[in-house]
Structure 1
Amino acid sequence: MNEIRLQKAMADAGVTSRRKSEELILAGHVKVNGKKVSQLGTKVSPHDEIMVDGIPVEREKLVYYLLYKPRSVITSVKDEKNRVTVMTFFPDVDERIYPVGRLDYDTSGAVLMTNDGELANQLMHPKFKMEKTYQAKVRGIVTPDDLKRLEAGVVIDRRKTAKAKASLISTDNVKKTSLVSLTIHEGRNHQVKKMFQVINKPVMKLKRESYGFLNLDGIQPGKWRALKLNEVNRLKQQVMRNAK
């Protein structure tokens, strides 16, 4: 029988992270098949009933999708202003998926969608250093010195950004614009836009080209594809490597 640790089953079901699940177990908030569990070594099968504070945990198969988010779409499950969210593109998906991290309303590109709570939390945590590559169209002609500054890190919100990878794709000397590729592993608020603002090259248009090794090849805006099993395993392996 395929058994896994209780805290992992809770994280997989989207209850919370594995660490928070462990805290709930130790605090006596969790029952398995009607019996309170307070030991972290407990294992459960797909047929066991898990309850947290009397509420049944709905266990569903884990799914993973890569979405090409268009501009003018909110990267959230719901929006209080009733704007279009990423959930609009998944009307026939029954699992309770959600976006991993955020992508600005006016930014297009790769967004990972899943119901795997544990992996989602790992991918979003800075210590796991998941690389994300952006293509930015900016005002002004980007110089080699500008690229060096971006790569070395610039100060935004009173804190220096981590080292990055930056390269110049093209320039338009007539319109005075540049196209730049920037790879970062942090996920600070509006980070890419703020980094370009520091070098006085404001962003005109921004697209996330890839999330880790996952890119948008063959995917049109507003469309998505399911990740293959080997891609999911590779994501998990990459997270573990980056954690060391």
Structure 2
Amino acid sequence: MRINKFLAHCGIDSRRKCESYILASRVTVNGKVIKDLSFIVNENDIVEVDDNRVSIPNNYEYHILHKPKGYICTSRDELGRKNVIELIKSSHRLYTVGRLDKDTTGLLVLTDDGNFANNILHPRYKIERKYYAYTKDKLSVDDIIKIKKGIYLSRAEKVKADIKHMDYAKGKHKWRIILKEGKNREIRRIFLRFNIKVYNLHRYAFGGLTLKGIDKGKSKKIDYKVAKSIIR
């Protein structure tokens, strides 16, 4: 099994993210640093990440977390900020499937099944991520049409979203946004493209999963069949 796939199956992270671990010299096999992404792990090899031995678990865990504001999703943080992993009681080495920024709330999936995570993050599945965004200023009809057709956030980065104005209350506009890819701070950047700041952002659904019955800061363990409903 290739080293990146092996690490993903160990629950370290997605395959793509595991490649960065390898290239950063954080992975050793039988005491030797491995930086070759094509390296094949054999059955009796001793694999370590950051000097901690890793192995493929006999069973995987899947959790839905209702993320509160103020928590980060990165697996390593030198600033000591609160991490979403702290909110889930598990003996497994979990990580998030995709990320929400520190100030965004809502649905996160956590697992130690790297192959599952890699599959559902792949663009070919076009899995819907559904959000509510709140702003003080309102997009024009022309702006909404542009976002639906696709806009450039940078010279090489074009994005589009299904966006709808839902309500206006207490001085804020409520928007429903549906994305089919999860790019870094995409919704906030879309609004900033039109000089509008997002004050609150909440993901309420991911594929076939919702937050029904899960309070903020709480999580729910689900089985693989339910987790797989993300891919409809």
- One fold, TM greater than 0.5? yes
Report the counterpart of residue 80 of structure 1 in structure 2: 78
User: Deviation at 1:52?
Assistant: 4.2
Report the counterpart of residue 218 of structure 2 in structure 1: 223
Kindly provide the amino acid, as one letter, of the partner of residue 126 in structure 1.
Answer: P
- Say if 1:189 and 1:11 are closer, same or farther in 2 by CA, change over 3 A: closer
1:147-168 C-alpha deviation (Å, 9 max, x unpaired): 2222112210224534321111
Mapping for residues 126-145 of structure 1, pairs under 5 Å = 126-145=123-142
Matched residues in 2 for 1:105 and 1:57: separation? Answer: 28
Aligned residues: 211
Query: Does the CA contact (< 8 Å) of 2:207 and 2:229 recur in 1?
Result: no
> Does 2:178 match 1:167?
no
> Does 2:183 match 1:185?
no
In the alignment, structure 2 segments of 5+ residues that lack a partner are 20-34
Higher relative contact order (CA 8 A, sep 6+): 2
What is the root-mean-square deviation in Å for CA atoms of aligned residues?
A: 3.0
1:182-235 C-alpha deviation (Å, 9 max, x unpaired): 011222221100101123332111111111121111111110111234212333
3-state secondary structure, aligned to 2:42: strand
Matched residues in 1 for 2:115 and 2:53: separation? Answer: 19
Matched-pair identity in %: 28
User: Deviation at 1:124?
Assistant: 2.7
In the alignment, structure 1 segments of 5+ residues that lack a partner are 1-5, 35-49, 239-244
Taking structure 1 as the reference length, the TM-score comes to 0.74
Mapping for residues 57-96 of structure 1, pairs under 5 Å = 57-60=54-57, 61-90=59-88, 92-96=89-93
Matched residues in 2 for 1:166 and 1:30: separation? Answer: 46
- Say if 1:25 and 1:162 are closer, same or farther in 2 by CA, change over 3 A: closer
Which of these two proteins has the greater Rg computed from alpha carbons?
1
Kindly provide the amino acid, as one letter, of the partner of residue 102 in structure 1.
Answer: R
Kindly provide the amino acid, as one letter, of the partner of residue 220 in structure 2.
Answer: R
1:157-181 C-alpha deviation (Å, 9 max, x unpaired): 2245343211111024x73x31001
Matched residues in 1 for 2:100 and 2:228: separation? Answer: 24
